[in-house]
Chain A
């Protein structure tokens, strides 16, 4: 468990570029859909996102 913001940042920076991109992009996506009364297909969008980030 991390205890502060610096450790959080360090944890993210230590991760692979792909993982970092996934974390940031998924959070962006969740923010965009947070207040939608009926957000559809968010999991499908994340699957597509992960596929496009990790192509091979």
Chain B
């Protein structure tokens, strides 16, 4: 980030429009703004902070508008307060405009809600207005880091106190990219746990049990198939033997007639059994297509009763149609010749008939329903007639079947009583074969039923297996993701450890480099393992801790910030590291020479220009003149003075205000 310009209008003690153009020169990188005590240095620093983050670190933080501007405001008119900061980050130019409007009503001044607008001009000259302007600013210079770049120089010594260790640690983590690595590590571990929850170990044992069950079912089905085949084979063999027995009975003189009769009866029996099946099939079709009619008696009777009642009462069809009444009202003329003016008594009386008259749609539905009920009653009667007829037909065929069976038994008895032993044996054989064939059919039926059941079980088990296999695949995937997260976490953890050590060493070395610009010869600044800053003096290859004065603490803290800015800029310029991206940050210091003795003041003045590529110093005239100016003068790229007007000042004014003038 390189600050280009700030425009301040009516912000706190800055009255009217005030502009500062910051130096962007690499050599003359210092912009100095000086003025008397109370002339508005700290307010200037706060204008920057308010412009970027909407916060003010001053007493009466709600008092944003200039007192003078407020006093001069005309009743009912608006006053504009704004801070506009233009800066460059990389190849893009940003303009941040935070503004608020104020209004005086009945002598009382009030402010509306502040507004923030960021406009970006990219490398191709296109203008973009981001939807979330605060997030855009935070991405470049986050609010939580801003206090290291825009600070009160007199308070900065806090960083080198023990109580400042946490602040230092936090700053190092954020600026040097360690915070990102820490969060990455923690979040990857949290996500690893989420995937661990998806890994279900029991899925494996369930799948194994199902696969064993499926195997057993398949084995049993195979056995049944084989049994059915065997039964069919035996049955066919028995049928063949029976056919041979019957042939012999047909050929023998004394049995030919009886056997011929039996053949004919068996043909008839097959025909009768076929007819019975056909009747049963017809009954099934009737029940499935029109069976509901059998249960519709009560509802049809109730519907009919309701319709009859309406008819008897004369409600439907009604004597008067709604359309007829509607026409009378529209024409405003009754059939009796009376005028029907809307709102009149006659009009209301005729209109009341609309409730009693029926609509065409209602009457159509009534007719439709009456016909429907009648038709349903007819269908219902037809259904019972058809069922009765089929039952009668079936009973007749059953009797016929019984009669044939009796005749067949009689023939069998006659053949069994024949004198010829051969004939008797043939008939016995036929009966045995008949029994066997029937037994085979029964047995086959039982196996087929069992086979059907097993096939159903196999289909069900197959479904469960597929479900568990999918679950197992899901589990395997979750495990893979969990392991990847763990590996990624470990890698990030290693990177973090290495980066923390490197950062500390790097910082230590940079602090000393920066520190030599400030401190007396032989003194070194040390960053301890607990991130406290310490000054040590070298005595014959040994280091001795030295107690720090406020000035030394201030110097140490500045050296620390300078080192941070330096490393972040260095890394940003390299631009290739994925884990520490760095950044370019300016430094804006309010009163960095405040409580220092002349010696420290001089050394700080020498070192300050090297802290960052762009330094803005806010100082009192008395601190600035003399040694400090002499040390920095060759690095000054822009200089401004603050002119303060107040009732007490030589430039007497009823209200206090400040103007910024270029030097």
Contact = CB atoms under 8 A, between A and B. Distances in A.
A8 B484 contact: no
Q: How large is the interface on B (under 10, 10 to 19, 20 to 34, 35 or more residues)?
A: 35 or more
B191 interface: yes
Residue among A7, A19, A24 with the highest chain B CB neighbour number at 10 A:
A19
B494 A50 contact: no
A19 B484 contact: yes
Q: How large is the interface on A (under 10, 10 to 19, 20 to 34, 35 or more residues)?
A: 20 to 34
B189 to A, nearest CB: 10
Given A27-B184, A35-B143, A54-B477, A2 B494 contact: yes
Nearest to B581: A31
Contacts of A27: 180-181, 184, 492, 578-579
B275 interface: no
B481 A26 contact: no
A24 B190 CA distance: 17
Contacts of B497: 1-2
Interface string A13-56: 00110110011101100110011110000110011001101101
A37 B430 CA distance: 99
A52 to B, nearest CB: 11
A54 B488 contact: no
B495 A35 contact: no
A34 B143 CA distance: 11
Interface string B476-520: 010011001101100110110111011000000000000000000
Contacts of A37: 143
- By secondary structure, the B interface counts as helix
A15 B487 CA distance: 8
A51 B481 contact: yes
B502 A4 contact: yes
A26 B488 CA distance: 9
Given A8-B494, A50-B484, A54-B477, A30 B184 contact: yes
B139 A35 contact: yes
Contact of B501 (A3, A11, A12, A34): A3
A11 to B, nearest CB: 6
B135 interface: yes
Interface string B269-290: 0000000000000000000000
10 contacts: A11-B494, A19-B484, A30-B180, A30-B184, A30-B187, A34-B183, A35-B142, A37-B143, A42-B187, A50-B485
Interface of A: 1-5, 7-8, 11-12, 15-16, 18-19, 22-24, 26-27, 30-31, 34-37, 42-43, 46-47, 50-51, 53-54, 56
Interface of B: 135, 138-139, 142-145, 174, 179-181, 183-184, 187-188, 190-191, 194-195, 477, 480-481, 484-485, 487-488, 491-492, 494-495, 497-499, 501-502, 578-579, 581
